[in-house]
């Protein structure tokens, strides 16, 4: 594994999607020279996309593909929970936690990615409602926002509780939003709209 990276992001990258194209959920964005843990799909398809930017090349990667029985996939390595979270490519849209406006489930882990088709656009996320379990450092239930297509991009903010955060705008064309809930105490959750312009 040797793919050009910076300290906080990937200049060149190998992306793995949980399906047959880039419209499937993004499972991993890989770069750097540390051999990553195995990447698992949730079903029988995985789409890999290697991209290099305008300068600096490295040796690249070599990977082994194995078809395995789902029972051997480690739980902690399994792809993110499906059925919540999504990939959005429309210029505007709505994002909600599962069951909204009823309480979200415990043990949710929802990954939402907004990918602008206009690669010069920025994404603005506006919260319309925000009701999540409040905890001191937002360690129980929370939302994380990253300034790019996944959590390898710069972290922007972390929210919990019931104060509606102000709008957040990315510096680039993509935004990644992760919602996590713990094992107890729910709330009505989050409703937000985004615009890409
Ligand atoms: Ca490069
Ligand atoms: Ca909770």
118 and 192 share one domain: yes
Task: Determine the distance separating the centroid of ligand 1 and the alpha carbon of 54, expressed in angstroms.
Answer: 6
- Sites in the chain below the pLDDT cut of 70: 73-83
The neighbouring-strand residues paired with 2 are: 60
Q: Are 36 and 64 in contact (CB under 8 A)?
A: no
109 and 143 share one domain: yes
185 and 158 share one domain: yes
- Which numbered ligand comes closest to the C-alpha of 160? 2
Domain extent at residue 70: 1-79
For residue 135, the model assigns a pLDDT of: 87
For residue 69, the model assigns a pLDDT of: 80
Give the domain-ending residue among 13, 46, 79: 79
For the chain, what is the total number of helices (H) and then of strands (E)? 0, 12
Please give the C-alpha separations between residue 9 and each of 74, 89, 155, in angstroms, as whole numbers: 27, 22, 11
55 and 101 share one domain: no
Which domain CATH number covers 132? 2.60.120.290
99 and 66 share one domain: no
Give the domain-ending residue among 14, 46, 79: 79
Which tokens sit at 147? 């300034």
75 and 116 share one domain: no
What does the pLDDT look like over 137-179, one tens digit per residue? 898 899 999 999 999 999 999 999 999 999 999 999 999 999 9
- Which numbered ligand comes closest to the C-alpha of 186? 2
Q: Are 189 and 96 in contact (CB under 8 A)?
A: yes
72 and 94 share one domain: no
Task: Determine the distance separating the centroid of ligand 2 and the alpha carbon of 52, expressed in angstroms.
Answer: 40
Which tokens sit at 166? 């102000």
Strand ranges across the sheet with 189-196? 92-96, 189-196, 123-131, 168-169
CB atoms within 10 A of CB 39: 16
189 and 167 share one domain: yes
Task: Determine the distance separating the centroid of ligand 2 and the alpha carbon of 185, expressed in angstroms.
Answer: 4
110 and 28 share one domain: no
Calculate ∠ Cα 44-182-84, nearest 5°: 40
Please give the C-alpha separations between residue 44 and each of 82, 83, 86, in angstroms, as whole numbers: 15, 17, 19
130 and 156 share one domain: yes
Of the candidates 18, 15, 170, 134, the one whose C-alpha atom is nearest the C-alpha of residue 85 is: 18
Domain count, the chain: 2
Task: Determine the distance separating the centroid of ligand 1 and the alpha carbon of 150, expressed in angstroms.
Answer: 19
Instruction: Kindly report the length of the chain.
Output: 197
CB atoms within 10 A of CB 4: 18
Q: Are 145 and 124 in contact (CB under 8 A)?
A: no
For residue 184, the model assigns a pLDDT of: 84
Distance CA(73)–CA(77), nearest Å, equals 7
For residue 116, the model assigns a pLDDT of: 95
Per the prediction, the chain carries an average pLDDT of: 89
Which tokens sit at 1? 């594994």
Give the domain-ending residue among 63, 79, 95: 79
191 and 143 share one domain: yes
93 and 153 share one domain: yes
Distance CA(85)–CA(96), nearest Å, equals 8
For residue 167, the model assigns a pLDDT of: 97
Task: Determine the distance separating the centroid of ligand 2 and the alpha carbon of 186, expressed in angstroms.
Answer: 5
């Amino acid at each position: 594994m040797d793919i050009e990276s910076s300290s906080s992001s990937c200049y060149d990258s190998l992306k793995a999607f949980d399906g047959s194209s880039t419209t499937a959920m993004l499972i991993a964005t890989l770069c750097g020279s540390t051999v990553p843990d195995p990447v698992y799909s949730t079903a029988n398809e995985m789409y890999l996309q290697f991209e290099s930017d305008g300068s600096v090349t490295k040796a690249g990667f070599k990977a082994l593909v194995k078809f395995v029985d789902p029972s051997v996939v480690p739980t902690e390595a399994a792809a993110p929970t499906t059925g919540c979270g999504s990939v959005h490519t429309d210029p505007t849209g709505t994002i909600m936690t599962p069951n909204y406006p009823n309480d979200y489930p415990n043990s949710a882990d929802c990954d939402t990615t907004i990918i602008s088709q206009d690669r010069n656009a920025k994404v603005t996320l506006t919260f319309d409602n925000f009701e999540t379990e409040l905890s001191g450092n937002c360690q129980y239930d929370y939302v994380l926002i990253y300034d790019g297509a996944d959590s390898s991009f710069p972290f922007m903010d972390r929210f919990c509780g019931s104060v509606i955060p102000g709008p957040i705008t990315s510096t680039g064309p993509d935004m990644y939003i992760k919602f996590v809930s713990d094992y107890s105490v729910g709330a009505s959750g989050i409703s937000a709209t985004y615009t890409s312009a």
